[in-house]
Structure 1
Amino acid sequence: MSLRLAAACLAASLLNLGCATQPLRSPVSFAVLEDEPRVRFEPGAEAYARQVAALLPQAVAQVEAAHYLPFADLVMVHVCGSETCFAAHVTSRNVSGATVPDNQVFLAPRLFDRETQRLSMILAHELSHLHLGQRLGHYTHEVPVWFHEGLAALASGGGGADYASEAEARAAFAAGRAFSPATLDTPDHRHRAEDWGLSPHLFYRQAMMFLQYLKQESETRFREFLLRVQDGENFTEAFGRTYNRSLLEAGQRFLEAVVPVAAAPAPPTD
């Protein structure tokens, strides 16, 4: 873990904020999959690990293409065969996968039984978080949550947004329940789904749709913006230099495009 990341997590703990997916202990009990050393697994979960190994090359290529850059470091995925294993390494609850602050990906056993249809999407979603984390640090507040999650959903073909349809997102937009791209995070407050009265899946879908809108408008500029952000440029300045307009204006144009008479997004709650 970098000194910058450690300091950020320490500051968060002092403010009683915590690091949302901070691991509780080191994954020393994981075995290495012989045929694919990038995959580690809880003893007894080798069959699950082999499923991940079969998907990993395509997932890595998919994420690198979506980010327009290769991974900056090694890719490592940990497969849990039990809920006890997953809970020991991931503090967030009711999630199927997580990327923790020291840039390691963990997958929950539910992806191999009751959520098998989500495995490839969630794997790619978490790899997108890993990709950004390797360059900027885990979930830095300097990049808003909506971008982290929207990009991960976009890169994975809808992973994390798969329980909310585009029609549901449009209905929420029309009702004024919409995230605001211009609302940025701070060290002591990160704006999440509940700040706009949205479910996480709906929040991810809306953020994904906004990034899709930017990409469809001009992939050249979208690529430039992503590369600026991944190079560590200030998020707002990177957007302004690329698009020659503010995030506020871009958000309003997006709303007008997805909803003919768009309601103004609700302000985030404090």
Structure 2
Amino acid sequence: MSANRIALVTGANRGMGKQVAKELAADGATVFVGSRDRDRGQRAAAEIGDGATALQLDVTRPASIASAAERIRADAGRLDLLVNNAAIATTRTDFGGMAELIAVSKASRAPLEEVRAVWEVNAFGALAVYQAMLPLLRDSADARIVNVTSALGSLTTMADTATAYHSAFEPVYAASKTALNAVTLSMMTELEATHIKVNLVSPGFANTALVNFEGTESVEDAAREVLRIARLGPDGPTGTFTCWDGVDLPW
């Protein structure tokens, strides 16, 4: 990846988003550290160091997204890399662990307001950011979009009764990632005749707050495929759905 890249990572104040932002900055890129909370974003950018700039960005609020796009336009004039990483698993703060969360997220029990809130971030948020940042990406000679999903969103995988997490598929988080996959496919088809590349990535099961710190991989290991794809040059592929390292996933 060239050292003068301009990148935006959403949900980058902690966890895997912060790790991606940190490694891109270490590559020499100028990285906008997207964060819903301004103070947390500033702390994360300070910890990352050179190349990182805090950017207040709430992917559920149009005014915040528009302001972020204006800031990038004013500061950098273009965007070369968009990593749609922002995601939530729940709005609840009182659950005892992932097993409990899955149990209360079954189709027969999931509160519709919870479904809407999670989809608002995970699917609609990515689409809203895409729409706002597309003019900046068009101004790049080598633009790429990386949407961070989950293998849980693969309908082919989750419909297989032999899949380990088959029974864990639910309409809140898992189905929101299926929706993100569909949104990503629409981006791919819209841009397939342009220079803008679009890729979908399922990272590892990172040990972060998103999964109540029950993940099995470090953020460094989990972020590997996101970074591999993000670092691809203009000759790199587009329209892929992969996990580490470069393994194709079914839609």
TM-score range, shorter chain: under 0.3
Q: Normalization by structure 1: what TM-score?
A: 0.26
**Higher radius of gyration, 1 or 2:** 1
More strand by share: 2
Relative contact order, CA 8 A, sep 6+: which one is greater? Answer: 2
The structure with the greater share of residues assigned to helix is 1
Give the TM-score taking structure 2 as reference length: 0.27
